[in-house]
């Protein structure tokens, strides 16, 4: 009797449990996103989809997934649909054959905040404004003439770096070269943007630019799960507001100081003939903003957004590329020696190699290509579809994000022999001898490709090879004992988070001068 009473008391619970077990498969089926016509992909969970699979570094996770499921896969990221490419052929499909269908970049909460919504260039929608700014960028802001005029800035900042390393070498202490390289590239961009800025402004910009890049590369659940938007469950919104305010104040300082100096010149009048000052990037942007005949009227926010693009795209990525290259060279002393022999043979030992020498150093250029293949600074190119598109026989809906994984294209065994090996000599082989890095050869697209290709290619190819060559020419590099791995080599693990792929551990090395006398005034 007692047992019967206990059973009867449990009946409502058992009934509910049975009902739940019967109904839950139906609920899961209804909640499960439909994948008709999509490429293969890993099983998705209700609500979060495949978000639980995405572990940093993202390019390695996507590479593993495409290796397992195929060269084109789909992922459910909350309520959003995402594709990921894992081969050269699929990258070509997206960036070349369907370039017009994937002409936009996905806009995250952080991107909208730091890009002043769409006031900048990188996240501006494809249209009249974007085309105008791209032409302005390619012909004026980062065009060959402007880069040549601003060459003394880059040259002087490399000299500052070399003198600092020479001074440190006298103590025999290790140097955090990662920090020094960030200082180099950030100082160059700060002076190219506003040539009369003070040293403390460069320090502030370096710190804030790093914060911006980190926040823009941080996973934010609000970007993928609709009902979380505005809830700030990760506390990122407060950080973004603070960093944005600090960077906006910095940009306002740049612009205001530039306006004052320009007004002062106008008030003084022409007077006696004077040497025409070099126009920095702010001069160019303010000239365009004040031009009543300009095709598109740009605002103060457009100027700020564009300067932010230049800082975030050019500073971190160039520093990371030099850092990865020197790390690989230190771990491969035979390649380092071969590069030094070329520099000594072509340049000599009585002057520092410069930008004008780079075209005459083929092995240096092969080393740079190899590092851009193995360690692309921004290893994922993101696009979003503007219309329904057929790729490889699959129907891709509108508003689908696609992640073109440059880490995978640089390791595609169909195009690369021994793809994980650091071997610059491969670019002297017949199959690779004519490969360029400006977006036309899809096995090597470190700057992206198509209409959204990075406009800063020219800047990167001026700064990176010349600075790298000077570091190789002027110093021997000894691994700090505290940073060597068990084999006495540098640890080459990648860091987590951010838009740019950094080393997990800073590059801490001891510089030893190899030129006597040291060829700097």
Q: Which residues participate in the annotated binding site?
A: 454
Handedness of CA 442, 357, 206, 147 (dihedral sign): negative
DSSP codes, 71-121: SEEEEEETTEEEEEE-SHHHHHIIIIITTTTT-B----HHHHHHTTTTTSS
Angle value at C-alpha 324, between 470 and 347, nearest 5 degrees: 20
Give the span between the Cα atoms of 310 and 279, in whole angstroms.
16
Q: Could you tell me if 384 and 402 are in contact, meaning their C-beta atoms sit under 8 angstroms apart? A: yes
C-alpha span between 442 and 448 (Å, rounded): 9
Q: Please, where are the H alpha helices in 269-376?
A: 281-289, 300-331, 333-347, 362-374
User: What's the half-sphere exposure (Cβ side, CA atoms, 13 Å) at 469?
Assistant: 34
Cα torsion angle, 402, 407, 410, 415, sign: negative
201 φ/ψ angles, rounded to the nearest 5 degrees: -65, -40
CA–CA gap between residue 176 and residue 190 (Å, rounded)? 21
H or E element at residue 402: strand 401-405
Query: 3-class DSSP state for residue 477?
Result: strand
The strand pairing partners of 476, in sequence order, are: 512
93 touches 100 (CB < 8 A)? no
Tokens of residue 312, six digits:
């975030």
Please confirm whether the linkage preceding 412 is cis (ω < 30° from 0). Answer: no
Dihedral over Cα of 294, 295, 301, 304: its sign: negative
Cite the annotated binding site for heme by residue number.
454
Q: Measured between alpha carbons, how far is 147 from 155 in angstroms, rounded to an integer?
A: 12
Interacting residues of 284 by C-beta distance below 8 A, sequence separation 6+? 136, 140, 141, 146
């Amino acid at each position: 009797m007692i047992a019967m009473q206990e059973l009867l008391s449990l009946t409502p619970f058992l009934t509910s449990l049975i009902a739940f077990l019967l109904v839950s498969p139906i609920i899961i089926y209804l909640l499960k996103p439909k994948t008709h016509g999509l490429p293969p992909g890993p099983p998705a969970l209700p609500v979060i989809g495949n978000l639980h699979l995405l572990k940093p570094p993202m390019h390695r996770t996507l590479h593993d997934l495409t290796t397992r499921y195929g060269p084109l896969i789909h992922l459910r990221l909350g309520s959003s649909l995402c594709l990921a490419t894992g081969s050269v052929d699929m990258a070509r499909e997206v960036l070349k054959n369907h370039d017009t269908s994937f002409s936009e970049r996905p806009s995250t909460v952080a991107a909208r905040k730091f890009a002043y919504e769409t006031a900048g260039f990188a996240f501006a929608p494809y249209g009249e404004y974007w085309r105008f700014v791209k032409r302005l960028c390619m012909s004026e802001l980062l065009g060959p003439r402007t880069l040549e005029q601003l060459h003394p800035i880059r040259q002087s900042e490399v000299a500052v770096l070399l003198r600092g390393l020479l001074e440190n070498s006298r103590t025999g202490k290790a140097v955090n070269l990662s920090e020094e390289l960030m200082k180099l590239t950030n100082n160059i961009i700060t002076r190219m943007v506003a040539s009369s800025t003070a040293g403390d402004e460069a320090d502030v910009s370096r710190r804030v630019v790093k914060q911006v890049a980190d926040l823009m590369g941080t996973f934010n659940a609000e970007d993928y799960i609709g009902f979380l938007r505005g809830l700030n469950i990760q506390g990122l919104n407060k950080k973004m507001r603070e960093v944005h305010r600090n960077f906006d104040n910095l940009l306002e300082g740049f612009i205001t100081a530039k306006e004052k100096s320009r007004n002062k010149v106008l008030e003084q009048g022409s007077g006696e003939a004077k040497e025409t000052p070099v126009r920095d990037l702010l001069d160019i942007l303010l000239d365009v903003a004040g031009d009543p005949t300009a095709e598109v009227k740009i605002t103060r926010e457009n100027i700020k957004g564009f300067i932010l693009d230049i800082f975030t795209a050019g500073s971190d990525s160039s520093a990371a590329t030099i850092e990865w290259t020197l790390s690989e060279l230190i771990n491969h002393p035979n390649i380092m020696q071969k590069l030094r022999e070329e520099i000594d043979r072509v340049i000599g030992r009585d002057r520092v190699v410069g930008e004008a020498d780079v075209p005459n150093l083929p092995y240096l250029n092969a080393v740079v290509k190899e590092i851009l293949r193995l360690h692309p600074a921004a290893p994922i190119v993101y696009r979003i579809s503007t219309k329904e598109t057929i790729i490889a026989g699959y129907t891709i809906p509108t508003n689908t994000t696609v992640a073109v994984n440059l880490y995978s294209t640089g390791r595609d065994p169909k195009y690369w022999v021994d793809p994980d090996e650091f071997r610059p000599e491969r670019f002297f082989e017949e199959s690779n001898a004519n490969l360029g890095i400006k977006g036309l050869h899809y096995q090597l697209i470190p700057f992206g490709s198509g209409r959204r290709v990075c406009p800063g290619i020219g800047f990167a190819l001026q700064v990176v090879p010349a600075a790298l060559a000077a570091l190789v020419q002027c110093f021997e590099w000894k691994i700090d004992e505290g940073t060597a791995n068990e084999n006495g080599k540098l640890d080459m693990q990648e860091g987590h988070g951010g838009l740019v792929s950094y080393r997990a551990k800073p590059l801490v090395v001891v510089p030893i001068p190899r030129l006597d006398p040291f060829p700097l005034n």
